Every structure is written in structure tokens, then in C-alpha cells.
Amino acid sequence: MTIHYDEQKALFHLQSKETSYVIQLTKQGYPAHLYWGKKVRGLQLDRLLELKERASFSPSTDLSQLSLSLDTLPQEYPTYGSSDFRTPAIQVALPNGSTVTELSYESHTIRSGKPALAGLPSVYTEQDDEAQTLEITLKDELTGLTVVLSYTVFENFDAITRSATITNNGSSTLQLQRALSMSLDFAHDRFEMLQLSGAWTRERYVHKRKLEPGMQSVESRRGSSSHVQNPFIALLAEGADEDHGDVYGASFVYSGNFIAGVEVDQFHSARLFMGINPFDFNWQLEAGEQFQTPEVVLVHSDQGLGGMSRSFHDLYRSRLIRGQFRDQTRPILVNNWEATYFNFTADKIESIAKVGQELGIELFVLDDGWFGKRDNDTTSLGDWFVDRNKLPNGLEDLVSRVKKLDMQFGLWFEPEMISPESELYRDHPDWCLHIDGRRRTQARQQLILDLSRADVREYIVRVISDILSSAPITYVKWDMNRNMTEIGSALLPADRQRETAHRYMLGLYEVLEKITSAFPHILFESCSGGGGRFDPGMLYYMPQTWTSDNTDAVSRLKIQYGTSIVYPVSAMGAHVSAVPNHQVGRITSLETRGNVALSGNFGYELDLTKFTEQEKETVKDQVALYKEVRHLVQFGDFYRLLSPFEGNETAWMFVAKDKSEAFVVLAAVLQEPYPKLDRFRLKGLDPNRDYELVGEEGAYGGDELMHAGLKMPQFHGDYASRVYRFRAV
């Protein structure tokens, strides 16, 4: 059993594969957080709760126990207004205008399996014996408000999920102003906080900072998880690094506005919290109504960041991603976007696909510009019918041409957007997010459809389904190229306008569930200007995401490295593009562009017809190599060896689950004259097995490769790289 309850001590002990998580109820019914860390047997865990009377500036809620103050009690789901001055997990406005609530224990249940979250993506189980779920019901006696804290512990994954279900069991309407998914208090603040931050074409860079007194947080107010911040943070204990020490990761399964942070209080305890961003959020909770928070996935590792990452990778690959592509290797594709942009014909597309077929590429993807009157980005979003000027014989003809080359066919959509210059906008100008009387701010000459509306959702499902049913399409790239402004809905009353952003996300998830369920044979890839919505919520519906619009190989070293901190490589799209690179203007070799892109769902995004014969041979070799190693890249254990954020060289590797083979990528950015002789060490191999390096004679011991290492190659020229393949002898 993974969840134990000691009734005498009122103590819950949750045990995952290698982790313990401990909660104790105080005599007043407050759930106190005692421990989260390396798995322990738990003989005297109740002794971890230390209550000490402080000065009157931390008041007590119980005169018979002055040592208990909510301001100092380590809590699981703190409230506002009743002696805890720290960041609350929940805040509710009552009919009398006050915002004070006090939640205490009412009951609990322990059940097998993991219930789904209504209308929201979440980690799942396939059999009930894979996990146990603890549900602790808390109640505010004055209002009848109840909160059910849900904790799921997995038998075979080192992860715990948390969420909260908030129900108004009173008779009056309540205003939910803050509804986080989780909160917990550490006894100390001796951590570094790691976050994944950046911008468009510079997503998910690794940033670390030492915790200081006060608030440190990341958040999005953009209507999506965003390029700027990612809904993930990790706390690294003193001395923790890539391979050693305690690391605590928190990942939010949600694609909209979020907040994640740590507050360090006056006694140097650290409160970790995560959930929907309370900024500009309010949810009207009528009597009898319920609000479900999204899910947070918590992972602890005592094997550093690498151990934490591999736990997230394993869980998300097999129990977040769904559908027939979850366990299948993904096809090698060519996308025409950087080859043609909006300017193409059916003959041009066929010519690119024909060369792709000769090179061994398996899938052609037609990007933006095939619909409406879409000759540039000022028009036609929402008009999902084929542009007969470019494709006079329709989409069916083009797909047929590509299929005759023994290639699959994929298509780009941006269904959540609408162009003011479109038939759809002329017919339905109120269908976009807007506020009457306010300017409708445009980005990329487009507005956002209001997915909180049922009629808009029905339209999107219908028109996209019609296109997908019209031809044998096996891949969809689902794009979203702007963030929300003037967030309002024409159908919501005034007192519910601040629900719009979250209702949009619920509407998006409903649309995605319907479309992906109706077309299970289609591989869906999420995109938002590249990595602007690279989050677990989207991975639940679409098993991969376009990692970044920046395809420059050197930039991708940091982008893909940072993304791997929490997301599996099977979720990352990585393409070879033309040089000079269209985003940064850098010129890198075809070899290095290929070597970096091999670490993801591999593809090309350029005009294949412009390749020389020598370049075609290089690409043939890259395609053949990827077909041999993609099972490793997409489903093997991932190890980071050298960080691009710490030095000139970057290296990572993939190891088979049975440790029978490995694939290593090494890249060096700049070269120095008369360089030092150096080595780099591998990870994850079996120290007692011997490995051959493909292309060389002889064998290396696994222990030798991991401890003595390999000599660093002496490259000639900047932006150089090399790949290594090892097989157990």
C-alpha cells in the first residue's frame, strides 16, 4: 500500500517509489506538512511537527494552545485572514464583503487508482493498482465552503500529484478570488530556485537564484503559459547539482495564466505554491457549484536535477501523453514554411516532397497559406477552406500527389485565431475576445476567438473536422500566434467577465478532446510561435510540441537543454533549416544542424530542391541514422553531460532502458587556438558491461566511459559537433 494512515497520530504517510510525503492533522483539524523527501520507514514522523510560541505578532487561533499559530504552522492548504500572514492557497469573498475563511478537517478517503479531473488534462492510470489517491475534505463552518485536497501516489513512478476541488455547500453566492492547486511549507529556506524563462525564439533558458526573504515567483498573465515563463519550478537543496543532492520539482498541468513561487518568511521557512494566477481572476461560485483546480505534479529526487528530469520524462511519456502515438516512434518530416512561406503552388510542394522521398523522409507538412486568401499574415484566419488559386484541384489532389510518393501528409492550422480581414469576422465580429467600446488590439494582424462560447467551439470542431475528413491527413500542426488582450466575452454577464481566461482554457481543452478523439490516427503537434505553450496541459492532447521558432543549431543547444529539465525529448520538435539561419543569421554546417536536430522529433524545414548532390548524401546519412536511433532518442533515458549555460561545450546522451546501447551528441560553439586536452564523461551505462563505439575497433568498459571518460575531440572551426553510438558487446 502506498498511502498509510495512523489514526492514533492523525498522520498520513504517502510513499511513492523512492519518496515519502507526510501530513499530520493538528488537534484543531489543520493539515500540517511534516516532510517531503527521500523515502523513510516513518517510525516517529509525528515528532517532526514542532510548535513554539512566538511573540504576539504571530497570533494563536487557540487560546488553549498558544504555541499554535497559523503564521508559523507548516500547512498544506493555507487560508487568508485568520492569523496566517503568508501567501494563501485560497481566498474567497463572502456576501458580507469579508474575505476571511478558516478550513479544518472534516473527513478523508483513501481509494485505489486516480480519478480524472472534470474538463481538465491530468496524469492518468490505466489500472487501479498503479496508484492510490488520498482525498482530505476541509470545511469552513461559517460558510459551508468545502475543499477536497487530492493527492495521488504512484506505485512505479516517483511522483505525487495534487489538486483541489472547491464546493459551495452554503446557501449564498461566493466569489472565488484565489484557488491554487497546491501549497506546502518547508522548514528552512536553504535552496536555490530554478526556473525556465525566456522569450520568443529564446524559450526555457535555465535560471537559478538563491532563495531570499520575501517573495520569488514566476507567472504568466498573457492568457497562455507563454514563451516568457514556463509553469515549472524546482528547488535545489544546498550542494545539489545535475547528478547529486535533493531536488524538488513542481510542474503545472495547465496552459493558461499561472503563478508558481516561493515565499520565505521571517523564520526562514519556505512556502512553495502553484496554481492559476489570481491576477485578474474571479470565479462566481453559486450555492451547490464546484470549482476544480488544475493539477500539479510533484517530483523529488536525491539524484540531482538529472534524476528529477528522468522521473518527469517517464511519467509524462507514459501517463500524461495519450493515444496510439504515445508508444510509437515519430516520423521524419519536411515542412515547407521556411522553404516557401506563403508563396507556393501544388507543383512546388510536390517537387519538395519528391526530393524528400528520395532522401528517406516519411512525412510532408504543408504549413501556413493554403486556405482562404492567405497570401500574407493579414488575412483569412477562420476561413478554413482551400485557396483554389494556389491549389486549383483542391487539397485532395495535393495529398494524393504526396501519397503517391509513399509519404504521409500533414497540415498546419491556427484554429483559435481570427483575422479581421476574413469572411468569418465579417459574419461574426462578436466572436472574438473583446470589450465593447475598447480598441481591439491586434498582434500579427489577428484577434483571438472566444472559446468560452459554445457556438465558437462548435464552429471550430466542425470546420477542422471537415478538412481532416476530406483527405488522408496523418499529421496536424496546431498553431497559436498571439496572447490575450481585452479579455472579455460578449456572452458572459458583468460579474463573470473575470472568468473569461479560464473559461477559454476549458473551452480549448473541450475542443482538443473532441478533435483528437475523432481522429486518433492523426499525430497532432502543438505550436505557439514555437514554444509559447509548451506545457503538460497541451501534451495531454498532443504528444509533441514545436520547441521553438528558432531553428538555429547553436540557439537550440540552450533551448533543448532547458526544455529537457522537465519535458521528455519525445515531446520536442527539432528541424534542420537553411543557412544563414532565418532567425539569427548564423551559418552552421549541415552536419551540426543535423546532429542537434537528431535530439528530438527530427525533420527538415527548408527547400530540399536546392540541395547539392553532396548535401543530399549528408541528409540521406542523417535520415538513416535517425531511423536507427530514434527509439533511443524518443524513449530512452536522457542524461545531460555538459551544460551550454556553463561552458563552450554542450553534450547529452540517450541510454536504452536495458542499457544495451547509447547515443551521444557533443557540440562546441567556439574554437580556441592551441586548445587544452580534455575529457568528458558519459552517464547511465552499465559499469559491468563492455561497449563498442560504432565505427571503431575495440571496446570500452561502461565504468571506464563513466569515470575516465572520452577524450574531447579537437574540432577545426566554430559550431562543430560529433555524435557517438555505443552498443553493448
Of 208, 313, 310, 303, the C-alpha closest to 262 is 208
Helix (H), strand (E) at residue 539: helix 536-539
Q: Hey, is 557 helix, strand or coil?
A: helix
Longest dimension (CA), the chain: 86
Give the number of C-alpha atoms closer than 13 A to the C-alpha of residue 123, restricted to the C-beta side. Answer: 32
Total Cβ atoms within 10 A of residue 178: 23
Quick one: angle between helices 394-404 and 346-359, nearest 10?
20
6 three-state secondary structure: strand
Residues 595/715, Cβ–Cβ less than 8 Å: no
Q: Which of 479, 535, 552, 637 is catalytic?
A: 479
**Catalytic (active site) residue 690:** no
93, amino acid identity: A
For residue 72, give the C-alpha cell.
Answer: 508559523
Is there a catalytic annotation at residue 549? yes
Cβ-Cβ contacts under 8 Å for 361 (sequence gap 6 or more) = 332, 333, 334, 407, 603, 604, 608, 623
CB 22 within 8 A of CB 12: yes
Contacts of 681 (CB under 8 A, 6+ apart): 641, 705, 706, 707, 708, 709, 710
Angle, in degrees to the nearest 10, between helices 454-469 and 500-518? 30
Exactly one of 140, 549, 552, 637 is catalytic; name it. Answer: 549
Q: What is the DSSP string of 466-496?
A: HHHHTTT--EEEE-------S---TTS-GGG
In angstroms, how far is CA 271 from the centroid of its own chain? 23
**Catalytic site residues?**
479, 549
